[in-house]
Amino acid sequence: MSETPTADAAYASFVAANWERYLRVARLLTGDLHRGEELLQDSLVKLYVRWRRTSIRGDPHAYLRRTLINGNISWWRRWRREQLVAQPPDHQDPRAGAEPQDQVQHALRQLPPGQRAVVVLRHYEDLTEREVAALLRCTVGTVKSQNARALAKLRELLADYDITAKEVTR
Amino acid sequence: MIDEQVLSFALHELADRDEVGAPPIDRLLHRGRRSRWARNAAGATVTATAAIGALAASTVLASPGGNSHNAGDPRSLALAAQTTSQSTFRFKQTQTIQLDAHSQFPEGNVSVIQGLYDPVNRRGAFEVLVGGARNMRLCADPAGRPSGGPYPSGSAGGAPSPSAPGRSSGGPSQPPPSPGCSAAPPLEMTRLSELRQIGDRCFLHPVGAGTDGPWQQLHGDHCGRASAEGVAMSTDPREVLVSIRTLGTATYRGRTGTGSQTTDTWTFGYTTKRTAHQVPATVTGTVAVNVATGLITQVATHDVVEEAGPTPLVTDSETEFSDFGTPVVVTAPSSSVPLPPGSPTPTPASTR
């Protein structure tokens, strides 16, 4: 419970140190920077409510990641019908002459949120399969299969992905 | 062709291409405090709902009929509370939090807990839903960005949502509509979690983790806490009767209806005590008792937390009891996993 100035200061320090990192994670999970920021703010509010317990006995990073993933899945369930019936002008198929990042964004959006979470945690956050399984509360086998399906789908969608202009340094 | 290394590179390219502003720490702290107060208020509502016990204690003596019931006398609330706690029942509790402008409740401001409970054998099956957006408005946020997305900013007032479940709750005077605000569309009620209790054993299924997500086993204190926070009044009312009998007074308001629907109505009010973790809440409400059965059929409360921030936090709760005597058969899930060590105690309400 973040009741004391000390607890509030610790929470504020955590947010300041990790805001950018988790905003980028949320942006990948949602496929949209503004929606990602809303998701992150909502998740950080939930973290505040449980700050004392989480910061003392748990791992605030793990709690925040879980809340981001669950929040995104809940949002997707609630609004997918609206998302599916229309293709807003700013969400046109980017494969026709768009930036490579737009191709990746479009491909990520085609994944179900569970697979998208596995991809982001494994390949952006660089978590191990075991860590992803613990976070998603599923088995390592489920993580492997979800990751394999997601990669197969991405390979199909990004068959024309061009990285020749940039060198892969990672 | 894309391999894992290229994918990692591509994800970093995508994530890093947007400029990121400074974190809105003040806003997060404000929302976090607000959310904590809302949770406390919900806890106070639980207490208020169960406060029928308190009324009972004080109304046994006030009741014209005392403990000997005559056809024309009101039922004793103490007797009604005890009788209710000895029967199985179906219940539905609807809570509505009134929001000030710009307070964001992404999942709506209405939550519903419903299910079947056997208080004698401590068996129950419950589900928690959220959504509604009752009495909420969509407003431009303080930064000037229109909240055109699905997340409404709420303010007290506005037209009740016609599709929201339950009845529209009463409340204090409504402020004038703000410029730039419009009535929020109703949010579909979404199932958040499911809880099964079999004696000391509890099983929680947070739906948000996925429909095929595992059930979590809760034991001992975890079970009690999850049950108490999640099912409110359905935990044994007799214990609550003992603990809060000194809180308030009740007034008999009369009898309505005819035949088997004849109902005695009581009103009550009290203020909860300040504790280290909870600010005082002023609670008023009504209790309806079916004269023919002597069972409580409805409890409605209106909570106001004055110290909840710039504006008071107002929560309305309505609990309906029905299907008394229905057999409650609860089975343990076929598979479940223990709570990971060090995890915060999950509750139905906290799985959002």
Q: What is the pLDDT of residues A67-98, one digit of tens each?
A: 898 888 877 766 654 444 444 444 445 444 46
**Contact across the interface for A114 and B13, Cβ inside 8 Å:** no
Query: Does A148 reach chain B within 8 Å, measured CB to CB?
Result: no
Q: Of 1.10.20, 1.10.287, 1.10.1740, 2.40.160, which CATH number belongs to A5-79? A: 1.10.1740
Q: In chain B, which residues have their Cβ closer than 8 Å to the Cβ of A63?
A: 344
Residue A25 has pLDDT above 90, yes or no: yes
What is the pLDDT, as a whole number, of residue A90? 46
Alpha helix ranges (H) inside A50-157: 51-57, 60-85, 100-109, 113-123, 129-136, 140-157
**Contact across the interface for A3 and B277, Cβ inside 8 Å:** yes
Residue closest to B218 by CA, chosen among B114, B39, B43, B346: B346
Which residue of B2, B278, B351 to mutate against A (max A Cβ within 10 Å)? Answer: B2
CB B53 within 8 A of CB B290: no
User: pLDDT for B156-166, tens place per residue?
Assistant: 333 333 333 33
A168 band by pLDDT with thresholds 50, 70 and 90? very low
CA distance B309 to B84: 37
CB A135 within 8 A of CB A69: yes
What is the pLDDT, as a whole number, of residue A110? 86
What is the pLDDT, as a whole number, of residue B231? 36
Which of B247 and B252 is assigned the larger pLDDT? B252
Count residue pairs from A and B with Cβ separation < 8 A.
156
Residue closest to B92 by CA, chosen among B120, B122, B127, B43: B127
A26 band by pLDDT with thresholds 50, 70 and 90? very high
User: pLDDT for B49-63, tens place per residue?
Assistant: 444 433 333 333 333
B225 band by pLDDT with thresholds 50, 70 and 90? low
Class of domain A100-168: mainly alpha
**Contact across the interface for A75 and B106, Cβ inside 8 Å:** yes
B187 band by pLDDT with thresholds 50, 70 and 90? low
- Point out the least confidently predicted range of B32-46, B123-137, B275-289: B32-46
CB A127 within 8 A of CB A70: no
Domain ranges of chain A: 5-79, 100-168
Which of A125 and B339 is assigned the larger pLDDT? A125
> Which residues numbered 90-129 in A keep a CB inside 8 Å of some CB on B?
100-101, 104-105, 108, 114, 119-120, 123-124, 126
What is the pLDDT, as a whole number, of residue A24? 93
User: pLDDT for A152-161, tens place per residue?
Assistant: 888 888 877 6
For helices A140-157 and A129-136, the axis angle rounded to 10 degrees is: 100
What is the pLDDT, as a whole number, of residue A123? 92
A122 band by pLDDT with thresholds 50, 70 and 90? very high
CA distance B147 to B164: 21
For residue B32, the number of C-alpha atoms closer than 13 Å in the C-beta half-sphere is 26
Rounded percentage of chain B residues whose pLDDT exceeds 70: 50
Strands B215-218 and B336-338: parallel
B338, burial (CB in 10 Å: exposed 0-12, middle 13-18, buried 19+):
exposed
What is the pLDDT, as a whole number, of residue B107? 53
> Which residues numbered 43-82 in B keep a CB inside 8 Å of some CB on A?
none
Nearest residue of A to residue B38, measured between CA atoms: A49
**Contact across the interface for B344 and A159, Cβ inside 8 Å:** no
Query: Does B331 reach chain A within 8 Å, measured CB to CB?
Result: no
**Contact across the interface for B213 and A50, Cβ inside 8 Å:** no
What is the pLDDT, as a whole number, of residue B222? 56
Residue A4 has pLDDT above 80, yes or no: no
> Which residues numbered 52-71 in A keep a CB inside 8 Å of some CB on B?
53-54, 57-58, 63, 70-71
Q: Which residue has the tokens 């399906």?
A: A149
**Contact across the interface for B4 and A151, Cβ inside 8 Å:** yes
The pTM (predicted TM-score) of the whole model is 0.51
What is the pLDDT, as a whole number, of residue A22? 93
Q: Which residue has the tokens 């952006």?
A: A124
Which residue of B11, B33, B191, B307 to mutate against A (max A Cβ within 10 Å)? Answer: B11
